[in-house]
Amino acid sequence: MLPQLQRIAAQAAANSECIFTNLAHLIDKGLLRRAYELTRKDGAVGVDGQEGKRPYGENLEANLDDLHRRLRECRYQAPCIKRVWLPKDGRGQRPISANLAFDLRSSCTVA
């Protein structure tokens, strides 16, 4: 875990009633880049039709700058996710969520 997030994890573990309202001040562009690097590029296409590598990765620095700016200005709003139901071994269904490809970067950053 990255150092800037270790402190939050320690606080959350020490006090289960602690509520974090905004973590944007702890997220820098390097952390977003690392989240992008850790995101599977060979995964399924996002519900927005984007692949893991393109087009987000083709203009990565500008996209990371924009995402970082929106996070810092509290203007980032997570997009809606698509709920898909998969059948379980004859025992009903289970839900999964399909994200937008670019949103996986910001979600992975704070997860």
Q: Which residues pair with 82 in a beta bridge?
A: 98
User: Which residue carries 């009633």 as its tokens?
Assistant: 17
Residue 41: strand, helix, or coil: coil
Count the Cβ atoms, other than its own, within 10 Å of residue 34.
Answer: 15
Give the pLDDT of residue 48. Answer: 61
pLDDT at residue 22, as a whole number:
78
Query: What is the pLDDT, as a whole number, of residue 39?
Result: 76
Which pLDDT does position 12 carry in this prediction? 86
pTM over 0.75: no
- Helix (H) or strand (E) segment spanning residue 61: helix 60-72
CB of 64 closer than 8 Å to CB of 32: yes
Mean pLDDT by 10 residues, the chain (111 residues): 77 86 83 82 64 71 91 82 82 79 53 47
